[in-house]
Homo-oligomer: A and B are copies of this chain.
């Protein structure tokens, strides 16, 4: 399923592995990160970001990524076609298409930047959460999709598998880490931003059909700051704002264990009930 160079590496690295092919890259959906229909969106978004981060013309660290999911990705090779739409002095804009055969399956916009020291302030505060090792790990045997097995999830509240209905019914707070532990990077944080279960499941307590149509991550650390994260675990916080007319949105924040805000994320999700 993956190219040989990644065969001995972490399951996540295998899943996002790409082979250069002229101006494009080739990859493969990973059986380890399958979802109900097609691959887990987070791993696809991480692969799209990876195509830019390993690109020879890439400069700086990512500050934003938006991926739109056009339809279910089939279990066959994917081609990633990146286009450098603007090379500014301090940032780069990229467009990416993920293609299977003659179908575009994903469209994406990515911004990289050479970040400089400026006025800094975190306007929201680290949520009150007990240490991860005091909490039970989610038993992924209770959930069918393969991708859930690749994460260590420890819920403070908002676990859809239990009846501990949180005070705000579509809100979750949980520790998340790659399994086995893996040094955090922008690719893994991108995937983790999509690893909040759909807020619909939590809100209605039903596993209804649902699929992300657009997914955005803003990164709040540069490469050096991210490399300083010693913990491989993050605290994730997510909630919905509105369910209406087949679509709901969810917003989230990803915090380092040292209380640094690493990323904010939002997505719009199609659903049926």
Query: Could you list which residues of chain A lie within 8 angstroms of chain B, going by C-beta atoms?
Result: 63-64, 66, 68, 70-71, 85-86, 88, 90-91, 93, 95, 97, 103-104, 107, 109, 111, 113, 115-124, 168-171, 199-200, 203-204, 213-214, 216, 218, 220-222, 225, 239-247, 249, 251, 253, 261, 264, 266, 268, 270-273
Contacts and interface: CB of A to CB of B under 8 A. Distances in A.
Most chain B beta-carbon neighbours within 10 Å: one of A86, A115, A122, A245: A245
Most chain B beta-carbon neighbours within 10 Å: one of A93, A113, A169, A221: A93
Given A218-B266, A245-B116, A68 B90 contact: no
23 contacts: A63-B213, A64-B268, A66-B68, A86-B104, A93-B213, A107-B109, A109-B109, A111-B213, A111-B214, A115-B247, A118-B244, A118-B271, A118-B273, A119-B243, A119-B273, A121-B170, A122-B242, A122-B243, A214-B218, A216-B266, A221-B245, A242-B261, A249-B264
Majority secondary structure of chain A interface residues (helix, strand, loop or mixed):
strand
B213 A268 contact: no
Contact of A71 (B88, B104, B111, B115): B88
Stoichiometry, as copies per complex, reads 2
A246 B116 contact: yes
Contacts of A90: 246, 270
A117 B253 CA distance: 30
Nearest to A68: B109
Contacts of A97: 85
Contacts of A268: 63-64, 111, 218
A117 B242 CA distance: 14
Contacts of A111: 68, 213-214, 268
A95 B66 CA distance: 12
B218 A109 contact: no
Given A251-B251, A261-B242, A66 B124 contact: no
B71 A247 contact: no
B66 A122 contact: no
B113 A247 contact: yes
Given A71-B86, A221-B244, A107 B121 contact: no
Contacts of A264: 241-242, 249, 251, 266
Contacts of A220: 241-242, 244-245, 247, 249
